[in-house]
Amino acid sequence: MDLNLKNKIVVITGAAGIRGSIGETMLRQLVEEGAIPAIIDRNARGFEYVKEIQDQGVDAIFCQTNLADPIQIENAIKTIATKYGRIDVVINNVGVNDGAGLDASYEEFMESLKLNLVSYFMIVKHAVPYLKESKGNILNIGSKVALTGQGGTSGYAAAKGGVLGLTREWAVDLIQYSIRVNAIIIAESWTPAYDNWIKTLENGEAKLKAIVEKIPLENRMTTPVEIANTSLFTISNLSSHTTGQFIFCDGGYVHLDRSLLSQ
């Protein structure tokens, strides 16, 4: 299916993660579609990824940026806009479930919000003039934690809740410019970050088994490829009348009746 993303300038945050992370997987798929990714991340891996992409004959740019710093975000968007003169899509993907819980300090809680929520606002604030020109669209990556809670992660939960609020708010703000704004909600996806988290637990394997058993569709985790497929479809013209939506790519984890499913 041609998603018609060829030569679209797609800003994507948090896409210099380890191979197999959600951002990196979206990055690969964007390149397959011929889109031009503009990666904003703090990890120098982004330089390596851009070189690989350019070697495949597709242009790309990496802006090494601390997404908790508003000045660096403004500079990154300026750099991208100066190079290409346009922005067609923003994918706010950065997110770290940092465990800033009720025992966290004020500073730790605010740091969590800065990265997981405020960066989404700052990226969009600076990209909006270009999106208005391109009639582009915005995709925010959300988490089930905003709806189900997790425990021990107040900062991340508050931020992801805020991300859903902003998705609806911006859909309303920007509808007059034909800019669509949607969120993909992820529940349990097997990524390098998830693997690392499981390894920190004393009873990691048992915990993982307990989680996987409760994922209704096929009792398995959502793959990053499935999330990338849904994300690319949502940012493409094939989703041209979808805005303000929370799209659950979660194997039914959040909504389906577990008492029926366990039979």
Ligand X SMILES: NC(=O)c1ccc[n+]([C@@H]2O[C@H](COP(=O)([O-])OP(=O)(O)OC[C@H]3O[C@@H](n4cnc5c(N)ncnc54)[C@H](O)[C@@H]3O)[C@@H](O)[C@H]2O)c1
Residues assigned a catalytic role:
156
Closest residue to ligand X, Cβ-based?
A: 95
Total chain residues near ligand X (CB under 6 A): 28
- Quick check: 143 binds ligand X (CB under 6 A)? yes
Nearer to ligand X, 177 or 197 (CB): 197
Q: Which is nearer to ligand X, 122 or 128 (CB)?
A: 122
161 in contact with ligand X (CB under 6 A): no
- Does 189 bind ligand X (CB under 6 A)? Our answer is yes
In contact, 88 and 136? CB cutoff 8 Å: yes
Interface residue with ligand X among 141, 157, 166, 183 (CB under 6 A) is 141
Per-position b or e across 132-152, b if 16+ CB within 10 A of its CB: eebebbbbbbbbbbbbeebee
Question: How many residues appear in the chain?
Answer: 263
Contact range with ligand X by CB under 6 A, out of 2-10, 30-38, 94-102, 123-131: 94-102
How many Å apart are CA 37 and CA 39, to the nearest integer? Answer: 6
Q: Measured from the CB of residue 217, what is the shortest distance to ligand X in angstroms?
A: 15
Is residue 251 within the footprint of ligand X (CB under 6 A)? no
Between residues 36 and 73, which has the closer beta carbon with respect to ligand X? 73
Binding interface with ligand X (CB under 6 A): 14, 16-18, 21-23, 41-43, 65-68, 93-96, 115, 141, 143, 186, 188-189, 191-194
